Amino acid sequence: MGADREGGRRPGPARAVAYAACGVVLLAGCASMPDSGDLRGVESTPRQDPQVRVFAMPPREDAPPSEIVQGFLEALTSDDPHYETARKYLTGEAARTWRPELSTTVLAGGPGTESDHAGSRGEANDYSVTLTGTKVATVDAQQSYAPAEGSYRKPVHLTRDGKSRQWRIDELPQGVVMGKSDFQRNYVSVNKYYFASNSAPEAEAGPERQPAAVADPVYVRRRVDPMTQVVRSLISGPTSLLGPAVRSSFPTGTALAKGTASLTPDDRNRLTVPLNDRASRVGEDKCDEMAAQLLFTLQSLNPVVDEVELRSGGRQLCSLTEERADAVAARGSAQRPDYLYFVDDEHRLVRIAAGSNATRAEPVPGALGEGGRALRSVAVSRDEHTAAGIGLDGKALYVGSLVSGGSLGEPVLVSEGKTEGDRLTAPSWDARGDLWIADRDPAGPRLLMLSEGAGEPVQVRTPGLDGRVQAVRVAADGVRIALIVEKDGKRSLLIGRIERDEKKAGEQSTVTVLELRSATPGLEEVTAMSWAGDSRLVVVGREHGGVQQIGYVQVDGSTPEASVPAALTGVKEIAASEDERLPLVAYSEDGIVRLPSGMQWQKVTEGTAPVYPG
């Protein structure tokens, strides 16, 4: 006999208890359990109030194997810190060897079940079932999220205990599996922060250099002491995807002090973090960097925390406030630009004060604002001292200072592409002051970097890149790059890691973009994008057979918990700042428009190619 698949559910016992702020609430279980018969599909729990905590119920006496499997699957979606209730559905040996922390597999719906009657071998003391579903994503042991696709099929085996005669699971896949809505209820994305290994942008306050803070998003369980979870995760080091390009200031072997159970801010919003002896000898500057990593990370989870104190061996190592942290490290989301820039109807580079309600633009100082070269797209350095512009035909790249009287000179790069669409993309500046651009010439498509916007362009290595780059945006941290890549008529958004092999003076560095991954697997056509936070982008695109839409994506391909921007038709270009307080700006069929927080799109003026610095 083959495996049977059955759908539908019928009423069963309540399987969960929820504690709300106003009292104790009894909830129906994540899936109702049949009292007998074959296994049935497990539906993902409907979205619930995130403040409601859900706890699974242990197996009832003489529960049939179908109910044991279903109860176990429900227990995986509860807020039980160590899955102790889930382990009660396992045999003693299975409970000891099962490791839920190894991975989380996210399915489009709740895991379905197929009972395998042949696998039961006709005996009364064992039973086999296959868990099924369509994969959406996986979260690995480092809590790193990655989109996934394809079918999910994993076997589960049950046995009846010879003495107690109770059914229990004795063979099961490692990790945890749940539906998408359960995942969204149970997990929250948090940015851990590390420092770029080879990047040190100049501090605005003076000539001293600061390390660039780099966001490393992970998913932690929302209601299982997330603050302590994320601190442990931060101290343990970056995810493997980001690790080669960043460093941590925590000494190797650092961990929370023995006996630390839970971390909670005090009534002054200060969090004290006790560390083991590996951190006891760090210097003041290194300790400040450690504290900055913690503070940036904790504010990603809970903005209320505004001070971190580090202790080791019974003494204070250092204490860092929110105000001082921005002087320790440069963080894109903390750098507020002065202006929004775009190209006016005379093809000049113009600007409006960032975040203002102004509608009248002024030409920028210098040659690019004087109209000496007709421009089609622009980029302004993050210090707002220099700008780069692409000529109207897309053929030449010009770089000039934003200083009155400055000359423009000859182009620093010229494309040999035969048509405008086969020439240069819009440029993008990184935090080091280097300029990035792609040449779309079909005869030799290239991703290029110009050190400080000048000199001989460095051809960036892109192993594994399959397609032609149509747009380039470098993150404020200088470690990540976003590319719109076209292949077979489809345009996708890819995120990669930048690695630099620094050379001696006079030698050209080697620059490589590695680990390119899709951040928009659900979109068939991505037409525009911009960084909109330390680990977030705003994207214009459409699904297969759908209409154009604007939305946010995380660098790991997940969808952030952010409101979807108001609809806007005919969007050709989009601009956002890493400082999320500033409005989105777009070039659409209505000209330059902006979206103040909580409002609708508003017409600003005529023009094209809006950009914030970067």
Average the pLDDT over each of 154-168, 198-212, 298-312 and give the range with the smallest value: 198-212
Give the model's pLDDT for residue 210: 86
The type of residue at 363 is P
The type of residue at 595 is L
Structural domains of the chain ordered from first start: 4-187 (no CATH), 197-330 (no CATH), 333-611 (2.120.10.30)
pLDDT of 43 > 70? The answer is no
- pLDDT, tens only, 330-381: 999 988 999 999 999 999 999 999 999 999 999 999 999 998 899 999 999 9
- pLDDT, tens only, 204-250: 333 357 899 999 999 999 999 999 999 999 999 999 999 999 999 99
Give the model's pLDDT for residue 7: 37
Average pLDDT for 520-529: 93
DSSP for 485-549, written as a single string: EEETTEEEEEEEEEEEE---TTSPPEEEEEEEEES-TT-SEEEEEEE-SSSEEEEEEE-TT---E
CB 227, CB 298: distance < 8 Å? yes
Measured distance CA(377)–CA(8) in Å, rounded: 56
Q: What is the DSSP letter of 186?
A: H
The number of C-alpha atoms within 13 Å of 525 and in the hemisphere containing its C-beta is 12
Cα–Cα distances in angstroms (integers) from residue 137 to residues 6, 119, 414, 535, in the given order: 25, 29, 42, 18
| pTM value > 0.85 | yes
- pLDDT, tens only, 460-498: 999 999 999 999 999 999 999 999 999 998 999 999 999
Quick one: residue 224, left, alpha or beta (phi over 0 = left, psi -120 to 50 = alpha)? beta
pLDDT of 408 > 50? The answer is yes
Give the model's pLDDT for residue 597: 82
- pLDDT, tens only, 106-162: 999 999 999 876 444 445 889 999 999 999 999 999 999 999 999 999 999 999 998
SS3 of residue 281 by DSSP: coil
Contacts of 157 (CB under 8 A, 6+ apart): 119, 126, 127, 128, 129, 169, 170, 171, 172
pLDDT of 66 > 60? The answer is yes
At 511, list the tokens: 């620059």
